[in-house]
Amino acid sequence: MILLALLLLAAPVRVGSKQFTESVILGEIVRQSLERAGIPAVHRRELGGTRVVFEALAQGQIDVYAEYTGTIAQELVRGTAAEGLRARGLRMSEPLGFEDTYAIGVRRAVAERLGLRSLSDLARHPEVRLGLSNEFMQRTDGWPRLRAVYGFAEGNARGLQHDLAYRALQDGSLDATDLYSTDAEIRALGLRVLADDRRAFPDYRAVLLYRADLPEAAVRVLQRLQGAISADAMIAMNARARLDRLPEEQVAGEFVGAPNQQGEGWPIRVLRRTGEHLFLVAISLGAAILVAIPLGMLAARRRRVGQVVLGATGLIQTIPSLALLVFMIPLLGIGARPAIAALFLYSLLPIVRSTHAGLLGIAPELREAAEALGLPPWARLRLVELPMASRSILSGVQTSAVIDVGTATLGALIGAGGYGQPILTGIRLADTGIILEGAIPAALLALLVQALFILAERLLVPKGLR
């Protein structure tokens, strides 16, 4: 028991955050507050949307993250919040001191031209180009709620990534979008926030959700944050991160009294992301090779079974990659495991097809010659058929490898890291430099993979078949 208690004390508290700036800053505030109290903590940042992060908490993959009361009541639990959370083994802090409610913001020129001051006004102008974040489009307290309360037509809005909507407002390709009331861009872009005159949105007071088994010392640190963050302070921190382009670690450090907090230098970040990306690609591709080549051999030998195998692997390939990642979360949680599983499934089809095609493409007279020599089936496969099909098989493996390198960037959406992490962060902060920090290494890795397969062809494919 003493050893177990020591292990629990030594294990870091895992802080999570969603994929928007305020959530990342709050996650950093929690992490740094815990560390200043002598409690080890790690921040698993930008894990995904509301449901992904909440399920990660409920399943014990993180220990605490910042949420909002309206979201908890409308999206996450049934009945009263306290009872619903307690049933999942979770607890909720008192409010942190500010509310971050949903709102609709309109470019000031459009609002003045059409006389828009409330959501009721907006509902009477379907010509306004409305772009809403993808999560808001699906949430029961988001677009469906606005349609029910204000009578918006379903086709009035299109979905896009939240941070890209601000860029679209700035360049004039959108007129209005959903926003959070503490967003720094409201002031920076001079947006008019429309009054929710029919009270469609509930209260969204910021709180901390944490696991009931969180050590008492950590809970006491979280309690000290209750009522400590005003709306003005949160808006200022968002502005420091999004408009002044300061790292969230530094912004949070200034708030908790540790202004020397700095992020990693870019060479260290790139090396770490490269290791994470290579891990995802290598494990998923290696497993796919071990499974797909035998499946391709089976498909080539047994026609009916082959139709089933090719159909099944082809069906997997039609599933959108983001959807497949989300499907994996209930089974494998968040992080590298679901990303590897999804990449493995995507890697199967090119290798199965190339193995199948390579074996069927062998000239019948060559098979007959091998049989005439008295070679048993496995010897024919090893000495004749697989070498003859090696170029086709290697081509399929190369295709899967390149697909893996690109698709692995989506693993960052569920906390798997890799080159997708700076790409997502750069999109969120509208920072091209951060985007390129992930995009350029990913492109270079894809080119390196192709070069390695050219070398592998020289080493593995018989000279007469090149």
Domain identity same for 460 and 333: yes
What tens digit of pLDDT does each residue of 88-120 get? 999 999 999 999 888 999 999 999 999 999 999
Highest mean pLDDT: which of 134-143, 221-230, 443-452?
221-230
Q: Which residues contact 201 (CB under 8 A, 6 or more apart)?
A: 70, 101, 102, 103, 141, 145
CB atoms within 10 A of CB 304: 8
Comparing 173 with 13, the larger pLDDT belongs to 13
pLDDT at 9 over 60: no
Handedness of CA 429, 231, 117, 71 (dihedral sign): positive
Length of the chain: 466
pLDDT of residue 187: 84
Q: Identify whether residues 363 and 422 lie together within a single domain.
A: yes
Tell me whether residue 198 is in a domain.
Answer: no
Share of the chain above pLDDT 90, in %: 46
User: What confidence tens digit (pLDDT) does each residue in 283-323 have?
Assistant: 999 999 999 999 998 988 888 888 899 899 999 888 888 78
For residue 217, pLDDT beyond 70? yes
Sign, Cα dihedral of 239, 245, 246, 247: positive
pLDDT of residue 6 exceeding 60: no
For the segment 401-434, what is each residue's pLDDT rounded down to a tens digit? 999 999 999 888 888 889 988 888 888 777 788 8
**For residue 179, how many other CB atoms are within 10 A of its CB?**
25
Same domain, 187 and 109: yes
Structure tokens at 446: 């894809």
Is the per-residue pLDDT at 7 higher than 60?
no
CB crowding 387-397: b at 16 or more within 10 Å, else e? bbbbbbbbbbb
- CA distances in angstroms from 22 to 163, 206, 380, listed in the order given: 12, 11, 63
> Over 90: is that where the pLDDT of 374 sits?
no
Q: Are residues 292 and 345 in the same domain?
A: yes
What pLDDT band is residue 140 in, cutting at 50, 70 and 90? confident
Model pLDDT, residue 162: 77
In the chain, pLDDT over 70 holds for what percent of residues? 91
pLDDT bucket at 331, cuts 50 / 70 / 90: confident
Is position 162 within any domain?
Answer: yes
Count of domains observed in the chain:
3
Shared-domain flag, residues 335 and 434: yes
Least confident of 91-105, 224-238, 370-384, 400-414: 370-384
Question: Residue 121: its pLDDT value, please?
Answer: 93
Question: Mean pLDDT over residues 356-383, rounded?
Answer: 72
Structure confidence at residue 172 (pLDDT):
86
Does residue 67 sit in the same domain as residue 84?
yes
The set of residues, in sequence order, having a beta carbon less than 8 Å from that of 98 and lying 6+ positions away, is 182, 205, 206, 229, 230, 231, 233, 234
**CATH code where residue 156 lies:** 3.40.190.120
Q: How far apart are CA 197 and CA 200, in angstroms?
A: 8
328 with 415, same domain?
yes
Structural domain includes residue 199: no
Judged on CB neighbours under 10 Å (0-12, 13-18, 19+), 301 is middle
Task: Specify if 178 maps to a domain.
Answer: yes
- Which CATH number does the domain housing residue 384 bear? 1.10.3720.10
Residues in contact with 174: Cβ distance below 8 Å, sequence separation at least 6, in sequence order: 129, 130, 131, 165, 168
pLDDT attached to residue 292: 94
Question: Is the pLDDT score of 260 beyond 70?
Answer: no
Closest CA to 465 of 384, 352, 350: 384
Q: According to the model, what pLDDT value does residue 115 have?
A: 94
Residue span of the structural domain in which 117 resides: 102-193
CA-CA-CA-CA dihedral for 70, 72, 74, 75, to nearest 10? 130
Give the pLDDT score at 464: 58
Query: Residue 261 domain-assigned?
Result: no
* Run of H or E residues at 68: strand 64-68
CATH assignment at residue 71: 3.40.190.10
pLDDT tens figures, 48-87? 888 889 989 998 999 999 999 988 988 888 767 778 899 8
- Report how far apart the first and last C-alpha atoms of the chain are (Å, whole number): 64
Stretch 335-358: mean pLDDT: 92
Bridge partners of 64, per DSSP, are: 15, 210
| Angle at alpha carbon of residue 339, lines to 337 and 344, rounded to 5° | 95
Q: Are 109 and 138 in contact (CB under 8 A)?
A: no
Q: Does residue 1 have a pLDDT over 50?
A: no
Assess whether 83 and 114 both reside in one domain: no
Same domain (yes/no): 291, 248:
no
Q: Cα–Cα distance between 131 and 175 in angstroms, integer?
A: 8
Rounded to 10 degrees, the C-alpha dihedral 339/342/344/347 comes to -120
pLDDT recorded at residue 368: 64
- What single-letter DSSP state applies at residue 226? T
Tell me the whole-structure pTM to 2 decimals: 0.79
| Residue with the two structure tokens 């920076």 | 188
Asked if residue 100 lies in contact with residue 22, where contact means CB atoms within 8 angstroms, the answer is: yes
What pLDDT score does 261 carry?
A: 63
Q: Which of the 8 DSSP states describes residue 80?
A: S
Whether 21 maps to a domain, the answer reads yes
Same structural domain for residues 402 and 339? yes
Does 298 lie in the same domain as 174?
Answer: no
Q: Of 23-27, 60-64, 343-347, 380-384, which gets the smallest average pLDDT?
A: 380-384
The residue with tokens 């060479």 is: 267
User: pLDDT band at residue 10, thresholds of 50, 70 and 90?
Assistant: low
**CB 17, CB 66: distance < 8 Å:** yes
Q: 20 and 116 share a domain?
A: no
Strands 157-160 and 13-16 come out as unpaired
Last residue of a domain, one of 146, 162, 193: 193
Helix, strand, coil proportions of the chain in percent (round to 5)? 65, 10, 25
Residue-level pLDDT at 4: 46
| Nearest in space to 174 (alpha carbons), one of 109, 258, 123, 224 | 109
Task: Evaluate whether residue 38 is within a structural domain.
Answer: yes
Q: Please identify, among 174, 193, 212, the residue that sits at the C-terminal boundary of a domain.
A: 193
